[in-house]
Amino acid sequence: MGKIIAVANQKGGVGKTTTAVNLSSALAIAEAKVLIVDMDPQANATSGLGYLPHELEKSVYDAIVGDVSLDEIILETQINNLYLVPSKIDLTAAEIELVTVLSRETRLKKHLDMKKDDFDFIIIDCPPSLGLLTINSLTAADTVLIPLQCEYYALEGLSQLLNTVRLIRENLNPELKLEGILLTMYDPRNNLSKEVYRQVREYFREDMFRTIIPRNVKLSEAPSHGLPIISYDIRSKGAESYIELAKEVISRR
Ligand code: ADP
Ligand code: MG
């Protein structure tokens, strides 16, 4: 049975999508069969894997609001073994439309539970909010992976996120576990990066990934080519670090 990992943090720009796309593709080249689910209306994971969101006929919206089967929505990617449930801007409406829908928190779970046997990993890229799309993601997930950007306000908002995780555990998904805290955009020349590392290490200990994602310009260039880092520049520090992360995730499986 596949493991479902939600990549979540209500802050924007912390490396959720970069992590979801590059962890997924690194897992896929390690021979795992992987499904990435784009739950962000901004559809950066979708475009980062080479699809133009506005040209897509169907998206995850049609599954969670319209109850269309994922089989009709799943796309292949350039990476062998990596499949995508795309997003497009219509997903913005889901946040509002779902409010009045029955079992609105478990819409995604219902669909992913049917696909769990077909994949080794299902990675969900969450939007930068704690609304119904993130709640659906955390309700469907086995674990949550939290990227933290190495910057001054790194820990700000984290207690709110951990509180949401606790509430989901108490009310919707008792088995939800923490996959780990992932430091992103680490710059060893920057004292602040080191300070964030020290603080997070002290607080989270084993819950922190050993792998740290460095700030690497190749990681920021790859999406504009519609490519994951392993296809764009496999020898970059960025590619190396996400391959390490994939190994760690597999060893925790
Ligand atoms: P989120 O999904 O949390 O909003 P993104 O993954 O889109 O964050 O990252 C925000 C921006 O930072 C993007 O432009 C991305 O290319 C860039 N970025 C992410 N991780 C790195 C990194 N390790 N090094 C350099 N740039 C990065
Ligand atoms: Mg994103």
Domains of the chain (ranges; CATH) run: 3-251 (3.40.50.300)
pTM score of the predicted model: 0.98
On the question of pLDDT at 101 being above 90, the answer is no
Token code pair at residue 15: 């490396």
Question: Which residue puts its alpha carbon closest to atom 15 of ligand 1?
Answer: 220
| Whether residue 22 has its Cβ less than 6 Å from ligand 1 | no
Dist. CA 166 → ligand 2 center (Å): 23
Q: What is the pLDDT of residues 133-190, one digit of tens each?
A: 999 999 999 999 999 998 878 888 899 999 999 999 999 999 999 999 999 999 989 9
Question: Which residue puts its alpha carbon closest to atom 13 of ligand 1?
Answer: 220
- Mean predicted confidence (pLDDT) in 29-33: 95
CA nearest 28: which of 81, 85, 83, 74?
81
Q: Which pLDDT score, from 0 to 100, does residue 168 have?
A: 97
Q: Give the integer Cα–Cα distance in Å for 122 and 81.
A: 12
On the question of pLDDT at 102 being above 90, the answer is no
Token code pair at residue 88: 């497009």
Q: Which pLDDT score, from 0 to 100, does residue 111 have?
A: 98
- Mean predicted confidence (pLDDT) in 189-206: 90
| Whether residue 45 has its Cβ less than 6 Å from ligand 1 | no
Q: Give the integer Cα–Cα distance in Å for 33 and 205.
A: 30
Dist. CA 161 → ligand 1 center (Å): 19
More confident residue, 203 or 211: 211
More confident residue, 18 or 206: 18
Question: Which residue puts its alpha carbon closest to atom 27 of ligand 1?
Answer: 220
On the question of pLDDT at 253 being above 90, the answer is no
Dist. CA 174 → ligand 1 center (Å): 31
Token code pair at residue 67: 């109850």
Task: Report the residue among 123, 153, 220, 241 best suited for mutation to probe ligand 1: largest number of ligand atoms under 8 A from its CB.
Answer: 220
Q: What is the pLDDT of residues 71-87, one digit of tens each?
A: 999 999 999 999 999 99
On the question of pLDDT at 28 being above 90, the answer is yes
With bands split at pLDDT 50, 70 and 90, how would you rate the model's confidence at 19? very high
| Whether residue 39 has its Cβ less than 6 Å from ligand 1 | no
Question: Which residue puts its alpha carbon closest to atom 18 of ligand 1?
Answer: 220
Q: Which pLDDT score, from 0 to 100, does residue 235 have?
A: 97
On the question of pLDDT at 10 being above 90, the answer is yes
Q: What is the pLDDT of residues 121-139, one digit of tens each?
A: 999 999 999 999 999 999 9
Closest ligand 1 atom to residue 44 Cα is 7
